Amino acid sequence: MSFDRDRFLPVTLDDMARRGWDFYDFLLITGDAYVDHPSFGTAIIGRLLEGAGYRVAVLAQPDWKSTAAFAALGRPRLGVLIGAGNIDSMVAHYTAAKKRRHDDAYSPGRGAGLRPDRATIVYSNRVREVFGDIPIVIGGLEASLRRFAHYDYWEDKVRRSILFDAQADILTYGMGETATLEIAARLASGTPVEEITDVRGTCVIGRYPGVCAYPRVEVPSFAEVSASKKAYAQANMVEYLEHDAVSGKAIVQKHGERFLIVNPPAYPLTTAELDRVAELPYVREPHPMYDEMGGVPAIEEVRFSVTHNRGCFGACNFCSLAFHQGRTVSCRSHDSVIREVKALTQHPGFKGYIHDVGGPSATFRKPSCQKQLKSGMCRNRACLAPEPCPNLNADHTDYMMLLRKLREIPKVKKVFIRSGIRFDYLLKDPSGEFFTDLVQHHISGQLKVAPEHCVAHTLDYMGKPHIEVYERFREKYFKLNRRYGKEQYLVPYLISSHPGCTLEDAVQLAEWLNRQGHMPEQVQDFYPTPGTLATCMWYTGIDPRTMKPVFVPKTPHDKALQRALMQWRKPQNRKLVLEALRETGREDLIGYGKHCLVKPDKGGPPARKPLGKKGDGPKKTRIDTRMRVEKKESSARPARKKGWAKAQKTKKKG
């Protein structure tokens, strides 16, 4: 769908000429295609600066192999802002098995290879070549997660802070609106970039720690964390704990003769500020220059979706949200969300369905407790796992009322929730009324939730609730579906090969899945992305929360065994499943019983009897509606066949 290109920020000299510009203030460079939508960081920063009176141009996915593309729009007056895109460029390019991806949803026509590996570094170095000492600010997810010395999975080594390799002046981390506006104002007032060292939510490089304007803590140096895994784990935990706008200190980390200075996080935006950011004049579409290339597929997931919150106190150890957006939740007002949905109903492609009203976790509309607002996040426990904190405020009324208002808007047929629900948080809702609304009105055929595993100690390493919580949720979910005559499915997300998960644990997960009558179509291997606590465990073999050793399944074969167990029915996995069961002494799962995962080899040793007393079978558990239907159909087929054969026999006798 094409729109007038003058509604977008300029991307060419001709665009600027039509506006009558003979100069511009900031150049925004991004590794994604240019999509003018609030789900894309470049669009937010560009529109925010435009709203503050600056002239902004966008350079999307420039050809990094020469300097010409970076000089195409001329030199900006104040500076260059650089981001790799909505996801880390290495994650965009490679799978967890380090295999090259063949497509990219953030590029036109899903074309792969339109951004370089380590895009932030490459773009920033090219800008230095072209514009010399111009102020360069790097930001976005890639820069945010790599702001400290960090383990890099793809090179299998510790790299220094990305700020050094990018040769940039300032790094903004987290959601960078406040920091960007302050940096822009200071540059516009004539302040030299080297003097802008005290902005919250930013990192700078100094010759000595004295340049730091805040109370600070020093973590082991780049040299120390490169040489000692214990030092790396100690540094990582401090970095995680200090990422708190209320209680966090500045962090200093020595890199050679210089110091990385990470100022405390920026304060979360207020509701009024979030409303303003969400309602800037976005076109909400990809730039028309991509029309002939097949458009930008990433828009399809968000075109008719609304983000109503930020931050997540779920604290999953494998998730980068806590280290980027932070654990303090902030939200938009009802009126703002309603205005956005009403505007979406006027879109020519709108068919009556709001695909999502969510964010990092859809149901979070407020901080986890009042103490968090005064003292910051607790340092000795998480809000939800392994057990919810007694101070947790899990009232879902505000979110429920918002959704009810959206359902009443003319032209809106359905309002779905797709961005994730914390089932443990939902179960703590004192009224339970939202759960009823969810089942009746907000599920598009299936609900995706993330138990991730079933073994208690593995879930503890993940920072997730124990499986009994998910099972209580599942039981209530299907009970409500039966009550309201719904046939809606439940799809559990699971991770294989997470730190702390042994092969024995993987076998238990396969048993659990078998009892549920569920085998995942796709399996997600643990992916060690920069900055997370789980990545620290994966690299060091140490849990940074306790400094105790943790088992890590690292080799490709270890991972393959765990992954195969989650898809035990696939013929191509049979050999690996047999190997895993024999290695763990679980030959009782090789056989013909319902509890068994695979049949024995022909001519091989007989299958072992199941563990337990005679007559004991696997624990019966409720399975989802789809599986019940499939089982009913499956058992009916042999009966029909038997009846047909009997009828034929009687006919012959007659």
Please write the tens of the pLDDT for every residue from 154-164: 999 999 999 99
pLDDT of residue 610: 52
How far is the C-alpha of 419 from the C-alpha of 302, rounded, in Å?
Answer: 10
Asked whether residue 321 carries a pLDDT value surpassing 70, the answer given is yes
Which distant-in-sequence residues (6+ apart) come within 8 Å of 101 by Cβ? 92, 93, 94, 95, 112
Domain locations in the chain? 5-153+160-204, 304-444
- Cβ neighbours, 10 Å, residue 237: 20
Among 231, 163, 239, residue whose Cα is nearest residue 197: 163
pLDDT of residue 633: 32
- The helix or strand, by DSSP H or E, that contains position 437, with its residue range, turns out to be helix 433-441
Asked whether residue 185 carries a pLDDT value surpassing 70, the answer given is yes
pLDDT of residue 519: 83
Residue 342, SS3 per DSSP: helix
**Do residues 506 and 523 make contact, with C-beta atoms less than 8 angstroms apart?**
no
Tokens 């097949």 label which residue? 294
Provide the residue type at 99 as one letter.
Answer: K
**Do residues 37 and 299 make contact, with C-beta atoms less than 8 angstroms apart?**
yes
What token pair was written down for 547? 């400094």
Least confident window among 6-20, 346-360, 439-453, 634-648: 634-648
Q: Please write down the HEC assignment for all residues of 73-92.
A: CCCCCCEEEEECCCCCHHHH
Least confident window among 143-147, 325-329, 506-510, 614-618: 614-618
How far is the C-alpha of 58 from the C-alpha of 596, rounded, in Å?
Answer: 58
Per-residue pLDDT, averaged over 104-133, amounts to: 97
Per-residue pLDDT, averaged over 458-485, amounts to: 96
Burial degree of 186 (CB within 10 A; 0-12, 13-18, 19+): middle
Q: What is the pTM of this model?
A: 0.90
pLDDT of residue 399: 97
Which distant-in-sequence residues (6+ apart) come within 8 Å of 635 by Cβ? none
Per-residue pLDDT, averaged over 196-218, amounts to: 91
* Residue-wise DSSP of 304-333: TEEE-EE------TT-SHHHHT-S--EE--
Asked whether residue 635 carries a pLDDT value surpassing 60, the answer given is no
| pLDDT band at residue 582 under the 50/70/90 scheme | very high
How far is the C-alpha of 71 from the C-alpha of 131, rounded, in Å?
Answer: 8
How far is the C-alpha of 464 from the C-alpha of 449, rounded, in Å?
Answer: 12
CATH topology of domain 304-444: Transcription Regulator spoIIAA (3.30.750)
Radius of gyration of the chain (CA): 27
Which distant-in-sequence residues (6+ apart) come within 8 Å of 403 by Cβ? 357, 415, 417, 437, 441, 442
How far is the C-alpha of 94 from the C-alpha of 314, rounded, in Å?
Answer: 27
**Do residues 623 and 519 make contact, with C-beta atoms less than 8 angstroms apart?**
no
The larger pLDDT score, comparing residue 471 to residue 321, is at 471
pLDDT of residue 517: 87
CATH topology of domain 5-153+160-204: Rossmann fold (3.40.50)
What token pair was written down for 647? 């009828």
- Cβ neighbours, 10 Å, residue 638: 9
**Average model confidence (pLDDT) across the chain:** 91
pLDDT of residue 332: 97
CA distances (Å), origin 526, targets 76, 105, 552: 42, 21, 11
| pLDDT band at residue 1 under the 50/70/90 scheme | low
330-331 vs 136-139, strand pairing mode: unpaired
Asked whether residue 130 carries a pLDDT value surpassing 80, the answer given is yes
**Do residues 138 and 83 make contact, with C-beta atoms less than 8 angstroms apart?**
yes
Asked whether residue 99 carries a pLDDT value surpassing 80, the answer given is yes
What token pair was written down for 334? 């009802």
Which distant-in-sequence residues (6+ apart) come within 8 Å of 286 by Cβ? 33, 34, 35, 36, 108, 295, 296, 299
Per-residue pLDDT, averaged over 46-53, amounts to: 98
Asked whether residue 632 carries a pLDDT value surpassing 60, the answer given is no
**Do residues 29 and 123 make contact, with C-beta atoms less than 8 angstroms apart?**
yes
* Residue-wise DSSP of 254-294: EETTEEEEEPPPPPPPPHHHHHHHHTS----EE-GGGGGGT
What token pair was written down for 571? 């013929």
Which distant-in-sequence residues (6+ apart) come within 8 Å of 563 by Cβ? 496, 497, 523, 525
CA distances (Å), origin 124, targets 111, 133, 139, 204, 648: 23, 12, 11, 15, 79
pLDDT of 603-627, one tens digit each?
Answer: 666 556 555 444 444 343 333 433 3
- Cβ neighbours, 10 Å, residue 596: 21
Instruction: Give CA angle at 178 (175, 182), nearest 5°.
Output: 140
Provide the residue type at 71 as one letter.
Answer: A
pLDDT of residue 629: 33
The DSSP call for residue 415 is E
How far is the C-alpha of 271 from the C-alpha of 458, rounded, in Å?
Answer: 37
